[in-house]
Amino acid sequence: MLSPKLPRLLGIEQMPQVFHEQGILFGYRHPQSSVTDCILSLFQMTNETLNIWTHLLPFWFFMWKFLTALNVTDVQNDSYSWPLLVYLGTSCVFPLASSCAHTFSSMSGKARHICYFLDYGAVNLFSLGSAIAYSAYTFPDSLVSTAFHDCYVGLAVLNTIVSTGLSCYSRFLEIQKPRLSKVLRVLAFAYPYTWDSFPIFYRLFLFPEESVGNEACLYHQKHMAMTLLASFFYSAHLPERLAPGRFDYIGHSHQLFHVCVILATHMQMEAIVLDKTLRKEWLLATSRPLSFSQISGALLLCIIFSLSNIIYFSAALYRMPEPELHKKET
């Protein structure tokens, strides 16, 4: 019976520097893998395998949640549910983009950067989806229909554009200035998250009495805790930094980061659905809901300008020489 031959794995000393991961010594795929090799690596234990599956499997779960909500919603007439559908749709995009980025990032140095450019764009699209849902369902009572509420989604669009550009630019600094690269990338994702979450911070910390017995607020708290934990794993490179080579395949920080991100998204999803349900009567009576043109316009601007950023930085890659392999495979 014929079976495909799985690609041979390499050590860090055989890889170009652009592929190096701190504390990960073995399990690297060939830096010029074919598309077939990348797909086969889904079923081979490499240092990327769990990075792929920890987002690919949740993608199908989030897709099921999205299709279920779509099936029970009168999309044409139920404008109150539009922000939820946008949020659920964007929550499917980022894990799929991430799993694809990790799958095909070993095709070349340039392909690796472009894969993650697209990944960053998808994360920022999800950030905008979160802002749209927050604007519709989670704003504290005292901020609903204020000037801040009116400009909230517009500034979230601007944040996604800047964040995509900054995160893409940070990849050009990885080899010469790795610490600065990491700081810029963390900042690129931290400040849109902070802006998006301002209504939640306002509810939880300025009006803590709203959190008592409020199931939605409890989920918001869990979401914040998981997001902070995800940020810690992403920034600290623990535990592999303390024991290089021992967490090459299972248990390194990026896998833990992925798990925390998915759990945080699930908590956020539950909180948004609860807010949408529990506050529906009050919100319909007092708030100015986002129109179809506002929602579609925000999404379109985010996609156009984020793709423009990705195209610009991808073109810049091709004005740079391809990194040479440190050591040829024998």
Is residue 209 a part of any domain in this protein?
yes
Is residue 291 a part of any domain in this protein?
yes
Instruction: Render each residue's pLDDT in the chain as its tens digit; 330 residues.
Output: 445 677 899 999 999 999 999 999 999 999 999 999 999 999 999 999 999 999 999 999 999 999 999 999 999 999 999 999 999 999 999 999 999 999 999 999 999 999 999 999 999 999 999 999 999 999 998 899 999 999 999 999 999 999 999 999 999 999 889 899 999 999 999 999 999 999 999 988 887 666 555 789 999 999 999 999 999 999 999 999 999 999 999 999 999 999 999 999 999 999 999 999 999 999 999 988 899 999 999 999 999 999 999 999 999 998 876 544 344 443
Is residue 240 a part of any domain in this protein?
no
Is residue 326 a part of any domain in this protein?
no
Is residue 55 a part of any domain in this protein?
yes
| 140, 203 Cβ separation under 8 angstroms | yes
Is residue 11 a part of any domain in this protein?
no
Residue 173 phi, psi (nearest 5): -105, 0
| 305, 161 Cβ separation under 8 angstroms | yes
Nearest to residue 250, comparing CAs of 91, 51, 33?
51
Is residue 91 a part of any domain in this protein?
yes
Q: What range defines the domain where residue 125 resides?
A: 32-219+283-317
Residue 3: predicted pLDDT: 52
What is the value of pTM for the model shown?
0.93
Per the rule left: phi > 0, alpha: psi between -120 and 50, beta: everything else, 213 is left
Report DSSP state, residue 71: H
Domain total in the chain: 1
Using alpha carbons, list the distances in angstroms from residue 37 to 7, 115, 266. Answer: 6, 16, 32
Beta-bridged to residue 10, according to DSSP, are: 28
- Structure tokens given for 171: 């990849």
For residue 44, the SS3 value is coil
Is residue 236 a part of any domain in this protein?
no
| 160, 127 Cβ separation under 8 angstroms | yes
